[in-house]
Amino acid sequence: MINWEIEDYLSENKVFLNGINGNIASLGAYMTVIDNRNLIKAYDNAPYTKEQWKDFLSYLEGHFYLAPTFKLLYLYIKKLIEL
């Protein structure tokens, strides 16, 4: 599965940040915020297909119960795919 690769790719591109100090954070970590500008840049420059992004959405959907950031990321990426 490529889902963990996409999650790591987004993390490396500073999409997930600590809400207090701005350091890189994990998607499901406490106090994590999503940097929309970095998400758009990462999405535009990603080596992944739309189909792979859609598979990643399914992965996120299965993890909504872990943290609100999973749902937020799902909604942001879904909107990017539709544009």
Residue range 62-77, pLDDT digits in tens: 988 888 999 999 999 9
Q: How many CB atoms lie within 10 A of CB 26?
A: 13
Query: Domain residues for 12?
Result: 3-82
Number of domains comprising the chain: 1
Split at pLDDT 50, 70, 90, the class of 1 is low
Q: Between residues 83 and 19, which one has the greater pLDDT?
A: 19
Q: Which pTM value belongs to this model?
A: 0.89
Where are the alpha helices (H) located in the chain, listed in sequence order? 3-12, 36-45, 50-61, 68-82
Residue pair 14/24 in contact by the 8 Å Cβ criterion: yes
pLDDT per residue over 19-59, tens digit each?
Answer: 999 999 988 888 999 999 999 999 999 999 999 999 999 99
